[in-house]
Amino acid sequence: VPQTPIRAAMNSIQQLRVELNSTSDQPSSNLQVYFKNCTVDPSEEITKRVEELSQVFSQRFAQAVGQRCEGLGRKRFNLGVQLYYKVMESMLKSEEKRLSVQNFSKLLNNAAFHTSLLACALEVVLATYVGNSLKNGGFGRGCGASDSIETDLCFPWILDVFQLHAFDFYKVIESFIKAEPTLKHDMMKHLEHCEHVIMESLAWRGDSPLFDLLKQSREEGTGEQAEPPAT
């Protein structure tokens, strides 16, 4: 049977659903243990944040795709939440092994971490649904094409929806790939492409936290001298 772009996209969607079949859109018992081990239990904040971002995502999804599609947006969001909790658990297991600690209070109470991780999970879900346009040239060309209405949802759409700094999103990508070994080659390349776009342009916008860090680094005298923002 010849492989068509549509069939390839359908296969990717099916694979994603199978991989997430055994996961829940609620924190697993292992994750709940990590939450309880924190100096400040982040459970409530995490649940509240997911609910708020669910509303924002669904509304923006409906605006982009069509008002009748709000339910579809919620389904995509739920898949993203399943992946978010799955990857979070895997990341924490790796960190526990690496650092020999079980209290991740600072990390798990960091809003930028959670929003970035959820955004990355949703980017994987959204990009899976536009798989055919990824194969036709990735972010640069695929998202500019009018072959699918859902290409409007391509990266960096999710950053705008969640009001997220590209610099923070960038920080989760490598750990995300490490923590999710079942990630398909195309998706890994897509995330790598997102990295390049951030590195080449998005992280250098005027409001990027990168400039404060460069300034701080210069004041502390560590590392190389930073270039001024205009450069």
Partner 1 sequence: NQDYHFGLKEHEGISELFDCD
Question: Site residues (CB under 8 A) for partner 1?
Answer: 91, 94-95, 98-99, 101, 104, 106-107, 110, 112-113, 171-172, 174-175, 177-178, 181, 183, 185, 188-189, 192
Q: Which amino acid is at 13?
A: I
Supply the minimum distance, in Å, between the C-beta of residue 194 and partner 1: 12
Long-range contacts of 140-147 (CB under 8 A, 24+ apart): 140/193
C-alpha dist (Å) from residue 18 to 11, 40, 53, 79, 180? 10, 35, 25, 11, 14
Give the residue with the Cβ less far from partner 1, 24 or 216: 216
Give the residue with the Cβ less far from partner 1, 178 or 215: 178
Supply the minimum distance, in Å, between the C-beta of residue 97 and partner 1: 10
For 74, the token pair is 């919620």
Supply the minimum distance, in Å, between the C-beta of residue 178 and partner 1: 7
Contact between 88 and 119 under an 8 Å Cβ cutoff? The reply is: no
Give the residue with the Cβ less far from partner 1, 153 or 214: 214
Supply the minimum distance, in Å, between the C-beta of residue 183 and partner 1: 6
Q: For residue 23, which phi and psi values (nearest 5 degrees)?
A: -105, 160
Give the residue with the Cβ less far from partner 1, 55 or 94: 94
Give the residue with the Cβ less far from partner 1, 91 or 214: 91
Residues with Cβ within 8 Å of residue 194, at least 6 apart in sequence:
123, 139, 155, 156, 169, 173
Supply the minimum distance, in Å, between the C-beta of residue 88 and partner 1: 10
